[in-house]
Amino acid sequence: MKGIILAGGTGTRLLPLTAVTSKQLLPVYDRPMIFYPLNTLIQAGIKDILIIVAPDHSGHFLNLLGSMFQKFGVNISFMVQKQPRGLAEAYVLAEDFIDGEATTLILGDNIFENDFSEAIQTFQGGGRIFAKEVSDPERFGVVELGTDREVLSIEEKPEQPKSRLAIVGIYIFDAAVVEAAKGLTPSARGELEITDLQKHYLDQGKLDVRTVEGAWFDTGTYESLFEASAYAREHRFSERFHPMVNDALGEFNAEFKKIVSLKK
């Protein structure tokens, strides 16, 4: 299993904060946002991780994460996405990285309280998505489930949702996802839609869904960014991070302070 974090885009809803750096490098309480999806993947034992970034602030990611996890056996690589063309394009861009293996893709601005280790480690093939009940499902991709929790339908931002289950920003697919993504037809807005990819697997009878019980934040607005930070502080998110992530952060902070002191 390999991991992909999609951290591109312009973050215009968070201007002027994103005028100087990427949205995924903004702080969520005591650490940059990118560490939350990183922790989700590392918790599940994923050691090869690709971060897809926008060109404007790509150097910021490299300065922060370039060699931070090397000594811990986690390999992080980067790819620049010059222009976002839909979430599903990530699989086309990452074809060489995926190299015939299954992948867990997580959006860089999605923060989860859940530990997805079991769902990732037990994945056998096809596709696996995750959903959470929300009060405003018309804002999201929505999944409808049957009496045996089988997937009946998937709709993107429906005016009249068939359920309140919003599809959240973490997806597991087998190696066939690359060719499936290549075969997608761009939507009316010119993008390769992740929901179309999910429907492809659904049509083949190879899609299942797990529900998310813990907190979930899509930190693309000022309010949701604030709420995520407040929740992370109140519920001591950092204390529940994988020890490797906290150790890497501690070593980075100590080294940075050392460099600063030598310059004085």
Query: Going from the N-terminus, what domains does the chain have, and what CATH number goes with each?
Result: 2-125+168-208+215-263 (3.90.550.10)
By C-alpha distance, which of 88, 74, 123, 73 is closest to 102?
123
Looking up tokens 């959903």 gives 131
Dist CA 63 CA 44 (whole Å): 25
Backbone torsions φ then ψ of 7, nearest 5 degrees:
-125, 35
CA 46-65-194 angle, to 5 degrees, is 55
Q: Burial code of 127-163, b = ≥16 C-beta within 10 A, e = fewer?
A: bbbbbbebeebeebbbbbbeeeeebeebbeebeebeb
pTM score, whole prediction: 0.93
Distance CA 224, CA 244 (A): 27
* H/E element, 220: none
CA 5 to chain centre: 5
Report the alpha-carbon angle 126-129-130, nearest 5: 155
Specify the pLDDT at position 201.
Answer: 95
Q: Cα(first)–Cα(last) distance of the chain, in Å?
A: 45
Tens of pLDDT, residue by residue, the chain (264 residues): 999 999 988 778 889 988 889 999 999 999 999 999 999 999 999 999 999 999 988 899 999 998 899 999 999 999 998 887 889 999 999 999 999 999 999 999 999 999 999 999 999 999 999 999 999 899 889 999 988 888 999 998 888 999 999 999 999 999 999 999 999 998 888 888 999 999 999 999 999 999 999 999 999 899 999 999 999 999 999 899 999 999 999 888 888 788 777 766
Token pair 């992080």 is found at 76
